[in-house]
Amino acid sequence: MTKIATWNVNSLNVRLEHVIDWVKIHNPDILCLQETKQTNDKFSHEAFDSIGYKSYHNGQKTYNGVAIISNKELQNVGSDIPGFSDPQKRIIHGLYPSRSLGLIHVVSAYVPNGQSLDSEKFKYKVSWLEAFNTWVKSSYGKSDHHILTGDFNIAPRDIDCHDPEAWKGNILVSQIERDLFDAIIDIGFDDSFRVLNKDIQKFSWWDYRMAGFRRNLGMRIDHILTSHSLKENLTTAYIDEDPRKLERPSDHTPVITEFR
DNA sequence: ATGGCGACGCAACGTCGA
């Protein structure tokens, strides 16, 4: 069994203890992190070494930053979308050598937020996702399996939003973003949570404001997309709400998928 | 729901996130 998880930690400076505690309890094979908000020299490889994990980080000050924590050494680690020049640190990826499944290409992605549909940041989100799609399409099939994880900042369907009527015309739920998400799926991926939980409404993020978590005003915007090659191997997919209940939590919580 | 939170940089409060 292989367990892979993704978690937007909203600053690893603040959340390192939560992450280490979570890894010790859940023992994932791979944990992908987003929004580390720290430069590579601040990233504590030692903290992960001490619990038996390799760690790979692509970060910057204040914003963005992504990492992969792995119980096996990754091969061919990269930290960009080839051909897409971007000063924002939103990608880290590598090959995970699975004993029984071969090489799994694992991506930890922090997709731009977009701010609002009429903003320059939304144009950046669209062009970023188009470049991401082109890259994923060109690399598809070059490894035995592919897993795209991260904070996609897209709620794929109305069921993934606590109040689709109130959010209509907003970022995270717009048809433009959902079409871009579906275009990635169409390359040959499954939304592993949705495949294994057909009609269940679960969220991975809740606004800090308005007592969002207590009132369950959430969205499912963090995803683990698995290549069709893994579809028959998928066993379990779930969202662990417990870290969101801790003191000083991230506004996101871990999303987990397991496969044989 | 359009805030009301929280992280950050920096030492007051503006910017950003989703």
Q: So where are chain A's domains?
A: 2-259
Please tell me the distance from the alpha carbon of residue A2 to that of residue A44, in angstroms, as a whole number. 25
| Torsion sign across C-alpha atoms A149, A110, A68, A56 | positive
| Torsion sign across C-alpha atoms A11, A161, A234, A132 | negative
- pLDDT at residue A202, as a whole number: 98
Is the shortest CB-to-strand distance from A222 to strand B under 7 Å? no
Is the shortest CB-to-strand distance from A248 to strand B under 7 Å? yes
- pLDDT at residue A97, as a whole number: 98
- Picking from A224, A204, A223, A222, the residue whose alpha carbon sits closest to that of residue A212 is A204
| Torsion sign across C-alpha atoms A187, A195, A106, A15 | positive
Report whether A153 belongs to an annotated binding site. Answer: yes
- The string of DSSP letters for A72-94 reads S--EEEE-S-TT---SS--EEEE
Give the nucleotide with minimal C1' distance to the Cα of A111: B18
- Picking from A206, A246, A204, the residue whose alpha carbon sits closest to that of residue A21 is A246
- pLDDT at residue A13, as a whole number: 95
Query: Token pair for residue A119?
Result: 């903003």
Residue ranges for chain A with pLDDT beneath 70: none
- Catalytic, out of A18, A29, A105, A151: A151
Report the distance from CA of residue A62 to the C1' of nucleotide B7 in Å, as an integer: 8
Query: Token pair for residue A174?
Result: 């717009």
Query: Token pair for residue A214?
Result: 């207590």
Report the distance from CA of residue A208 to the C1' of nucleotide B6 in Å, as an integer: 7
Residues 71-110 of A with CB within 7 A of strand B: none
- pLDDT at residue A37, as a whole number: 97
- pLDDT at residue A30, as a whole number: 98
- pLDDT at residue A228, as a whole number: 98
Strand B, nucleotides covered by protein (CB < 7 Å): 1-9, 16-18
| Nearest protein residue by Cα to C1' of nucleotide B9 | A62
- Picking from A15, A2, A44, A45, the residue whose alpha carbon sits closest to that of residue A252 is A15
Q: How many CA atoms lie within 13 A of A245 on its CB side?
A: 4
Strands (E), chain A: 2-8, 30-34, 54-58, 66-70, 75-78, 91-98, 102-110, 145-151, 189-191, 205-206, 218-219, 222-227, 234-239, 255-259
- pLDDT at residue A26, as a whole number: 98
Write the CATH number of the domain with boundaries A2-259.
3.60.10.10
Which residue type, as a one-letter code, is found at position A37?
Answer: K
Please tell me the distance from the alpha carbon of residue A160 to that of residue A123, in angstroms, as a whole number. 23
Prediction pTM value? 0.97
| Torsion sign across C-alpha atoms A113, A86, A66, A42 | negative
Please tell me the distance from the alpha carbon of residue A177 to that of residue A152, in angstroms, as a whole number. 10
Burial class (CB in 10 A: 0-12, 13-18, 19+), A236: middle
- pLDDT at residue A207, as a whole number: 95
- Picking from A241, A237, A260, the residue whose alpha carbon sits closest to that of residue A251 is A241
Report whether A35 belongs to an annotated binding site. Answer: yes
Report the distance from CA of residue A216 to the C1' of nucleotide B14 in Å, as an integer: 29
Please tell me the distance from the alpha carbon of residue A147 to that of residue A188, in angstroms, as a whole number. 11
- pLDDT at residue A31, as a whole number: 98
